[in-house]
């Protein structure tokens, strides 16, 4: 009779990280946990309970795994900030790059605004519901779009349009304003901090929030914003549906749209599209037409980003006109269509 292999499986991933963390004392472990995101802390917490009774051999395996990964680290991180900013700006344009970088760049100063990540929508709404709409706008601009949308819908309806408008027109936020917000989050805190002004908000941020708002609320809020400032409302709506959103269309509507687009425009637009979207568009075309477009894209040399963006905007404008006329439906949130 063959022996059954009872050796434990190698510990990897969050379980290995949990084993390592358990080897630190409380203060050292706390410093590590303080640098993680809320979801990472929760995942690591679950894993720490799961590995509470690991064998010595498993601890050694986790350490070996950590040492092996550490040896593979390179010096690529040096100068990373400048490289990432430059690449983002070239790829997305200055405005979009600044919006993305503002969200992903690690903070250069300690800020209690990080507490917002640990709060649910009801807690945030309760915290700011009695504040000035400008304060509400700044807080929402520091949240992830889905959470911000939930908070927006929990705030008084009469303020919602005002908040969206203020987010869309939000400029750099001064340190004094950020300090006031930190005191709002930590009552009684009087610590003052140094650093540059924080850039959040803008029509892109407002559009991201509105994309996560329920359809009936979206229509009401955008109608009110348009009454106040037609150009701001139009810009938000343009940002709410961008070229990548075409992937949400079904094949029938995609095919109807593609038949109205000149192939020369489509070739330029797809030059900057991701592979999933290309596949979606090609799948709604005949094999012969798709192959012809793919061949032409391959033959074309480098195209200026401005030309690609212009071609994509032309296709989106066509899609909007066809949707308004009822010729096609653009996939919306949930079961909604626009």
Domains in the chain (CATH in brackets) are: 13-71 (no CATH), 107-237 (1.10.220.30), 242-324 (1.10.220.30)
Q: Is 305 exposed, middle or buried (0-12, 13-18, 19+ CB in 10 A)?
A: middle
DSSP 260: T
Per-residue pLDDT, 207: 80
* Token reading at 256: 């109807």
Cβ atoms < 10 Å from Cβ of 206: 32
The pLDDT of residue 335 is 40
Instruction: Write down the pTM of the prediction.
Output: 0.41
Tokens of 183: 């005191």
Residue 14 and residue 244: Cα distance in Å, rounded? 33
Those residues whose C-beta lies under 8 Å from the C-beta of residue 106, and which sit 6 or more positions away, are none
Helix ranges (DSSP H) in the chain: 13-23, 26-33, 38-50, 56-71, 80-92, 94-104, 121-128, 133-141, 145-154, 157-168, 175-185, 203-210, 215-228, 230-240, 251-258, 263-270, 275-283, 287-299, 305-324
How many residues appear in the chain?
338
**Would you call 331 helix, strand, or coil by DSSP?**
strand
Rounded (5°) CA angle 103-108-113: 60
The neighbouring-strand residues paired with 198 are 173
pLDDT values of the chain reduced to their tens digit, one per residue, 338 residues? 444 444 445 566 777 777 777 777 777 777 777 777 666 777 777 777 776 677 777 777 777 777 676 656 555 554 566 667 777 777 777 777 777 766 666 554 445 566 777 777 888 888 888 888 888 888 888 888 888 888 999 998 889 999 999 999 887 766 677 777 777 766 533 333 344 445 556 777 788 788 777 877 888 888 889 898 888 888 887 777 778 888 888 888 899 999 999 989 999 999 878 888 888 899 989 999 899 998 898 888 788 877 888 888 888 888 888 887 888 887 654 444 33
- Residue 36: alpha-carbon gap to chain centroid: 18
CA-to-CA distance for 69 and 63, rounded, in angstroms?
10
């Amino acid at each position: 009779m063959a022996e059954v292999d009872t050796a434990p499986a190698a510990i990897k991933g969050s379980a290995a990280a949990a084993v390592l963390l358990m080897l630190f004392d409380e203060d050292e472990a706390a410093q590590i946990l303080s640098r993680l995101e809320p979801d990472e802390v929760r995942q690591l917490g679950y894993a720490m309970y799961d590995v509470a009774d690991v064998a010595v051999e498993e601890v050694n395996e986790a350490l070996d795994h950590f040492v092996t990964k550490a040896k593979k680290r390179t010096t690529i991180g040096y100068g990373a900030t400048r490289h990432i900013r430059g690449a983002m700006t070239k790829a997305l344009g200055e405005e979009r790059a600044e919006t993305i970088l503002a969200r992903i760049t690690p903070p250069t100063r300690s800020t209690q605004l990080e507490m917002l990540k640990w709060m649910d929508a009801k807690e945030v709404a309760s915290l700011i519901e009695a504040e000035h709409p400008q304060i509400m706008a700044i807080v929402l601009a520091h949240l992830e779009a889905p959470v911000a949308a939930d908070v927006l819908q929990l705030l008084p309806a009469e303020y919602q349009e005002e908040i969206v408008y203020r987010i869309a027109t939000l400029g750099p936020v001064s340190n004094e304003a950020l300090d006031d917000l930190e005191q709002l989050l930590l009552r009684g805190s009087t610590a003052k901090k140094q650093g540059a002004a924080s850039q959040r908000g803008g029509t892109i941020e407002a559009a991201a929030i509105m994309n996560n708002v329920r359809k009936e609320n979206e229509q009401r809020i955008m109608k009110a914003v348009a009454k106040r400032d037609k150009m701001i409302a139009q810009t938000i709506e343009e940002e709410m549906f961008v070229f990548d959103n075409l992937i949400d269309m079904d094949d029938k509507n995609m095919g109807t749209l593609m038949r109205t687009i000149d192939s020369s425009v489509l070739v330029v637009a797809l030059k900057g599209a991701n592979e999933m979207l290309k596949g979606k568009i090609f799948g709604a075309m005949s094999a012969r037409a798709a192959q012809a477009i793919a061949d032409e894209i391959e033959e074309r040399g480098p195209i200026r980003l401005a030309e690609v963006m212009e071609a994509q905007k032309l296709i989106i404008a066509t899609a909007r006109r066809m949707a308004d006329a009822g010729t096609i439906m653009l996939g919306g949130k949930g079961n909604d269509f626009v």
